[in-house]
Structure formats: structure tokens, C-alpha cells
Amino acid sequence: MSIKWTDSRTIGEALYDLYPDTDPKTVRFTDLHQWVCELEDFDDNPEASNEKILEAILLVWMDEYE
């Protein structure tokens, strides 16, 4: 299954699984962008993201973290 930027729930859950001890509130958007692009199933244009997309991913990750 390939992951796209629009799959914020899938991405947020995957990041929580990979970084369970990382508080998402402390993650910079530059790091978040890199980590998403490094996901094994990520298959989208790295430059197609924006602040709104990264915020949506971060909110899902925060829900999982709490």
C-alpha cells in the first residue's frame, strides 16, 4: 500500500509506531517532513506537502501519543 500526503491518519499512526517516546509537540516541521518522506510505504512527491498537511499529520500523532 502506498502512502500519500493526504493519508494523514495513516502517516500519524505510522510515526507514532516508529517514534513512541517522541512527544509530537516537540517535533519541528522540517523533521516531520523528513520522517514522512522516509516512511517505507511513502510514495508521493516530497515537495507536495504544505503546512496544513503537516499540521494534520501532527494532530493525528498527538492523538495517538496522548
- pLDDT 10s digits, 14-56: 999 999 999 999 999 999 999 999 999 999 999 999 999 999 9
- Cα–Cα distances in angstroms (integers) from residue 39 to residues 5, 33, 62, 66, in the given order: 11, 10, 18, 22
φ/ψ of 54, rounded to 5, equals -65, -35
Q: What is the DSSP letter of 24?
A: G
Residue 30: half-sphere exposure toward Cβ, Cα within 13 Å: 0
Q: How would you class 1 by CB atoms within 10 Å of its CB: exposed for 0-12, middle for 13-18, buried for 19 or more?
A: exposed
Residue whose grid cell is 510515526: 15
pLDDT at 8: 98
Domains of the chain: 8-65 (1.10.10.600)
